[in-house]
Chains A and B, each alone.
Chain A
Amino acid sequence: MTDTTAPDDAPRCSYCGEPFPTERLRALHRGLEHHERLDDDEREAFEDAYHDESEDLRSFRLRALAVLVALYFGFLMTYAVVAV
């Protein structure tokens, strides 16, 4: 179920009509939900989108790791100073 407030020019899935905020999400949706029915172009678009996303995920992981390390050492130091 999708909200009716999606703009008219939003990319829509050609198989089920679901709107998406970006072309990439539409390509991913088509690859996941309608994989058997895709033509070659769409399949290629799905694979490209998937690889692009993997790149972004890698940089997200790095940032998440940085936050985890900061949290860990932040608390370590705080405990060392405050909880005597």
Chain B
Amino acid sequence: MSRRGARVLGAVVGLVAVCGVAAAHGGSLRDASGQELAVPTWLFLSTGGAVVGASFLLASFVTDRAFVAAVHEWHRHVPAPRRVLAWVGHAVGLAGLVFVLLTGFVGPTEPLRNGAIVLVWVGWWAVFAMSTYLVGNSWPAVNPFRTLTRPVAWVLDGRDVALPPGRASWASTAFLLTLVWFEVVSPLADEPRMLAAAALGYLALSVVGVVAVGHDQWFEEVDPLSRLFAMYGSVAPLQRTDDGLELRLPAMRLTDDVVTTNGGVAFVVALVWGTTYDGFVGTPAWASFARSVVDAGVPAPVLYPAALLVGFLGFHRLYWWAARKARDVAPTYTDAAVLARRFAPSLLAIAAGYHLAHYLVYALSLSPSLFGALLAPLDPPVARTLVLPSWLSGVGVAAVLLGHLLAIWVAHATAYDELPGRLQAIRSQYTLTLVMVFYTMTSLWIIGQPAAEPPFL
């Protein structure tokens, strides 16, 4: 092999290694990963952007309508004892909540030995969330808040004050942003007592929600966690339909009407932005910005929610700009809102890819703590972490890439479904692809930054 070839190969391997470390930091829960980049930041970022752009160009080579439709319509009926599964789900969910409350309030206070902390963050937020987009969304059955508030619904006896679906999804977006803010500014991942109290608080919120809008609407449209898992669940191969379970190709349900309101679009954008924000406040750039702003007289408690809101509005405007512009570029007279709703689900594949990239390594390395705390909740063994083979970080890179490729393909299939012209369908994705490139580069930039402790928390 020539010297230049070897050098290029080295650079690519270096980039993959960087992505590996980087991707492992991309979800939630800031953990230290201050790695030096092997290539300049601008090149690292533009490579990531170019990969997304190039995959769009590659997808545009597939112009056979029948093939595109066949891929996204393929499905098989899966026989399953749904009633039994639902009862098992209820039991598991309730047992989990009782376990979290018990170990949270009376268990050891050391985070990695505490059953509540590891069950919530490793068992639920990492492993269970993965199952929702890799297998299927079982949260409606498992959700202990849903099971526990059922009697409230009986007392109310169908006295539902229905909220219009658009309003309900905006409310859900607001709740999701609040949850992200709360997760970032509070020590929920370190203090078991507070985590258990937060679980009780969430139960109280659910009761209020059920009283306000009714059991069905609260858990199907407003409750942010249910909506979050429903969104992740639409990436999964197993789907729940009226006639039972259905097997589809992964992410292909995203080409259906997963998002039906403008508020639903906002929720998807908030989901994507929430992941970004969580990483962003852990960068040195944020730390120095926050210090200078607080020095200028802005109170610190205002700063975090303000940044969350401003960033969300920025992402949201950018996405709508893409949808409006797509209407002119395609060209089409289809309403920009229709385009925005139909293309929004493709972003979910990206979000799922980032989640998997971060939490696969996290969950596997902390799995001994989880088992220890589950088997001996009140006196767990000393916390250990699993030493993982280095190729596992490659799975993370693959997940990020696969998420982007699926998103590009979903947008492609959706455009073919929505618009009559093949070239028109390709052109309608120009601006959306630009937004995806921007989002990838933003995420990669955050990932490439050395980790810093967010100030004023």
Tell me, yes or no, whether B7 is within 8 Å of chain A by CB.
yes
Tell me, yes or no, whether B388 is within 8 Å of chain A by CB.
no
Q: Which residues of B contact A10 (CB under 8 A)?
A: 333
* Of B36-44, B121-129, B163-171, B296-304, the one touching chain A: B36-44
Cβ < 8 Å to A, chain B residues 415-431? 420-424, 426
Cβ < 8 Å to B, chain A residues 18-47? 18-22, 24-26, 28-29, 32-33
Tell me, yes or no, whether B95 is within 8 Å of chain A by CB.
no
Tell me, yes or no, whether B332 is within 8 Å of chain A by CB.
yes
Contact between A25 and B39 (Cβ–Cβ < 8 Å)?
A: no
Q: Which residues of B contact A56 (CB under 8 A)?
A: 423
Partner of B420, one of A2, A28, A64, A72: A28
Contact between A79 and B43 (Cβ–Cβ < 8 Å)?
A: yes
Q: Which residues of B contact A80 (CB under 8 A)?
A: 4, 7-8, 11
B contact residues, range: 35 or more
- B11, B39, B65 interface centre (most CB from chain A within 10 Å): B11
Q: Give the A interface residue count (CB, 8 A).
A: 36
* Of B46-54, B151-159, B233-241, B247-255, the one touching chain A: B46-54
Given contacts A32-B420, A64-B61, contact A19 B43 (CB under 8 A): no
Q: Which residues of B contact A71 (CB under 8 A)?
A: 50, 53-54
Contact between A68 and B54 (Cβ–Cβ < 8 Å)?
A: yes
Q: Which residues of B contact A2 (CB under 8 A)?
A: 333-335
Contact between B12 and A79 (Cβ–Cβ < 8 Å)?
A: yes
Contact between A25 and B54 (Cβ–Cβ < 8 Å)?
A: no
Cβ < 8 Å to A, chain B residues 1-49? 4, 7-8, 10-12, 14, 38-40, 43, 47
- A2, A60, A80 interface centre (most CB from chain B within 10 Å): A60
Q: Which residues of B contact A19 (CB under 8 A)?
A: 333
Q: List 8 A-B contacts (CB under 8 A).
A: A20-B420, A28-B421, A53-B421, A56-B423, A60-B426, A64-B60, A75-B47, A80-B7
